[in-house]
Amino acid sequence: MLKEAGCYVNDAVLGSVDRILSLAFFDDKSKPNKVSYGDTEITEHHAGNYRFNDKIKAELTNNDFKVLFEDAIKTGLLKAEQYDASQPFTIGCRYERKDACRLLKFNKRVPGQNIGGYFIDKDHDTCPIFITYHKSENISETIQYGDYFKNPSVMHMYSKNKRRIEGAEIQKLYRGVEEGKPALDMHMFVKKSDDEGTSFIYLGPCEIIKGSMQQEFSRRQDGKEDPIVSMDLKLAVPVDADRYYMLTEK
Tens of pLDDT, residue by residue over 13-62, are 999 999 999 999 999 888 889 999 889 999 988 887 899 999 999 999 99
Cα-Cα-Cα-Cα dihedral of 197, 199, 200, 201, to 10°? -110
Given phi > 0 = left and psi -120 to 50 = alpha, else beta, which region is 180? left
- In this prediction the pTM is 0.92
Which residues have CB under 8 Å from 11's CB, separation 6+? none
For position 197, what pLDDT does the model report? 94
Instruction: Give the tens place of pLDDT for each residue, 103-160.
Output: 999 999 999 989 999 999 999 999 999 999 998 766 555 556 789 999 999 999 999 9
66 vs 60: CA distance, rounded Å: 5
**pLDDT value at position 144?**
61
Residue 119 CA neighbour count, 13 Å, CB half: 20
pLDDT one-digit tens code per residue, 51-80: 999 999 999 999 999 999 999 999 999 999
> 8 — phi, psi (to 5°)?
-75, 115
Partners of 127 in the beta sheet? Answer: 186
pLDDT in tens, 157-210: 999 999 999 999 999 999 999 999 999 999 999 999 999 999 999 999 999 999
Distance between CA atoms of residues 131 and 102, nearest Å: 19
